Structure formats: structure tokens, C-alpha cells
A and B are shown apart, each in its own frame.
Chain A
């Protein structure tokens, strides 16, 4: 109770700077989201899921200025991959920089432009986000539904021949972007979504993904390498029977990143894998907050999160598997690990399992450790120099997460990015 008043004040302050555009087909969803947000308020450190991550910079009325610089010699990610490019500059779609919105087996429209009623999107926009508010409140996701005017709406109707790439560019030092993407994968359809680049000084993002019966969704995201980024992102996914959802995120640098993934396996024999590899050096705070709900029978879920931390970097993992009554034959797996390269870095992990069915297999593990000195000596005794040996072991540590990327060309690209990052951040 004591916190109610300041919480209301913080929420009011956060909302004061935003303009609420309540028109078009999204109007009811926006109105509901704003009501949700007002009711729950923006988070404080006392909120259970914000104990390890300070929400202050997400709560602040304005974005803190952030340099657009990365590490200097880093190259654009996914450069060599044939993809349909959709470019957002400081959170605003840039038609001139983007490819035409045309690709086989996918209908592409923009949230801002789609003024006419798109039925499928109306049934999705804010819907999964609202479902994902229980039992854990996600105020910034509601904010994303209420206030986003930019984003893509993708309806996937078949096997899309190449990845759809969302490319983010950060130009203005204090840009404050709010994005909301909706993706509907129709029965038996398949798509790969790529996301890359620093979006803005501060990014609030929601992606809702609805995978219908037998649909297949692949998501590979590269966050960074901007150092001063503050990002609070959410993926809400609903996976129907025999559907597949796979999401991988590479995070390099960033003072404040929170990635939430809320996944519901609603049909039988569905699969959801969510993975992350994060590398941070110095002022780095990275939080993966994951919630997987098993409702259908014989579904498989995997959470694989690896963090490499040095020079006082902080990593957070809050991951939950909820197995609902009747979700028999569930196969759940969760691993969260950190490699601490010095004594100053911190890893905070909160693995949770909640199981209401009796015929399930759920395993979870969380470890935190330094580089294995025995392995290091073994490599060096064969002539591998110290730094190269350390990099080899760091990459080995991250391998399980990288292996979650099915597309070999994309996995190789991510691997090279990591190698380059490690070379720049050698001890």
C-alpha cells in the first residue's frame, strides 16, 4: 500500500510525455491496453520480477541520450544474407531505405499505414500481450500496445522464400522508439524473421506471434553493439498443435536491456525454443525474463541462455516453465549459465518450475563459473596462445545457444559476430 502513491505518480509521469492516438482499427485494443497499464502501473524495485533490474530508465518520462557508437570496427550483421529489408530509423519506418513490401507467401503491411480494418491483425493486436499479463505483470508491453504507431503486420500464408529482416537504425541521440509487430503464421506456413541494429536511445517493443497448426516461425535477433542502448522488448507467442516457434537473440553490449519472452503452447505436439547469447564488458546489464506455458499435450520447450560477463557486467535470468493440468508428456528444458571472466561481474538467476501434470519431464539447471583452468592449460599446452584459448572456450560455452539457430548461414554469421566481439574485448 505504501508504494501505491509513488507508483501512480511514476505512471502518470511516464504517460504524460506520450500522445495517445486512439483511432482506426486498433482503437479498442489501445484503449484496453492503456486501462491495463494504468491499473497495474509502471514497475518499481519492489515488484517481484523487477528485483534484479532497475526499471528507472524505462520509467523515465524521456529517454536518456545515447551515443549511436558501437565498438568501432564492427560490421553490419546479416549483411551477406539474402533477405527482404524493412528499415526503421529511430523507430520510424523508412520506405526509401526499405525493399518494396512484396514477397511470396507473406502479406506485409505497416501498423501506421494500415488504416483500413485488417481482420487477422485486429484479432491479434494486443491480444497475446493481454493474455501474457497473467500471472506476471508486464507494464511496458501494455505501453507498447497502447502507444505504438509503428511496426509491421505480417501474415504468413506459405513457405516464405527468404527471411524478412527488420533493420533498426539509431540516429537521433535521444530517440524514444515504441514498436509493435504482429505476425500470424497460417497453418503449415513458415517464415524466418531477422532483427538487427540499435533501434533508438530507448526502445519499447512488443512482438506478437501467432503460430497456427503446423506453422513454423524462426526468429534470429542481434542486439547491439551500441553501448548506451536501453531496450525493453517483449515477444508474446501462441503456438498451436504441431506448430514450431524458435527465437534466438544475440546481445552484444548495452547498458540496460530487458528481453521478455512469453510463450504459450496451446495445441498438442507443439515446440518452442527460446535461446540467448549475451556478451557484456563493463557497463552492461542484460535481463532475460522468460515464461513458457505448457497447455497442450506432448509439447517440447527449451530455454537456453548463456551470458559472458566481464569488468562488472551484470546478467539476469528469470525463467519459468508452467505445466498446466492435463499437459501430459510435456518435455521441458531450461538452462541458464554465466561465464564470469572476473570477480567483479554478477549473474542473478531465478529458475522456476510450476507443474500441475504428473506425466512430465522437466529439467532445469543454472550455473555460474569462471573459465576452466584445466581446459585452458590443455589448449595452451598444444600451442594455442592464452587469448585465443580463452576465446575458444568462451565460444564453446556459448555453443549450445548458437546451435538453436537452424539456418547454418545465419548461425555462421552470428558466430563471426561473436568472434569479432571477443577479439575486440580480449583480456
Chain B
């Protein structure tokens, strides 16, 4: 029992406090009912009139304006996209035309170039042939000349050699004849 004493005290204290909070219901006091109704009707009516005549149309206007403007902008955007698509098509056409023209020009100049190259080639070949002929003739001349000079050199050398060996001067014409004989036989071997 002693243990419960604090609890009982607490409950009693709690109860008095609860009753203190509840001091009747002023809502049921009819003293100001008419006043409250009167002011409610007055203020509500004023609020209703100002809202329905002034604020609600304004908000509605704002909303309608926004919707209209968004729609207009969307339409304008659509028009612009269409325009852009058209421009893109034109551009593509122009590009493909230009490409065709470029191919044509390249083809033509290629043909012209081939022609020129062939012409030059022919001319060059002709000139080359001429030069070759000339060179061959020269070589032939050189061959002949060289055989003659070889003969004369051989004559001189053999004359000197014979002179040194024998101390006698031999007849020029006999040496010449023998050298010509030898060279006729052997010249083809060396030249």
C-alpha cells in the first residue's frame, strides 16, 4: 500500500489539473451568436464579391494568357522547324549538284591531261630515237678513227723497237704493210 501512495497523489494532482483545463465551453454561450453570424455574413459576402469580381478573373486571365502564349510559341516553333527542314533539303540538293559538277570537271581535265601526256610522250620518243641514231653514228666513226690511230701508234712503236734492237732503220712502208696485215686479222677481236 505504501508503494501506491505516490501514484495516488499523482492521480489526484493530475485530476485537479485536468478540471482546471476544462472551464466550460464558451461555444455554447449564446451572448455573441448574433454578432458572430452578422460579421461572418458581412465579411464572407465582401470576400466573395471581391474574389469573384476582381481576383478570380485576374488569375483566370493569367492562366489563359499563359496557355495561349505557350500554344502560339509551340506553333511558331513548329513553323521554324518546317522552315529549317526545307532549308536543309535545299542545301543537300545544292551540295549534290556541286558534287556532280566537280566530278565532271575532274573527268574533263583528266582526259585533257592524258591527251597532253601522250603528245609529249610521242615527241619525246621521236627525239630520243634521233639522239640514239646520232650517238650510234658517232660511236661507229670513233671505232673507225680509233683503228686508224691504233695502226699509226703501232707503226711508230714497232719502228722504235726495231731501231733499238737492231740499230737499223727499217723501211716505213714494210712495217705499215705488216701491221695492216696483223690488224686486219686481229682488229675484230679487240674492237
A and B form one complex: no
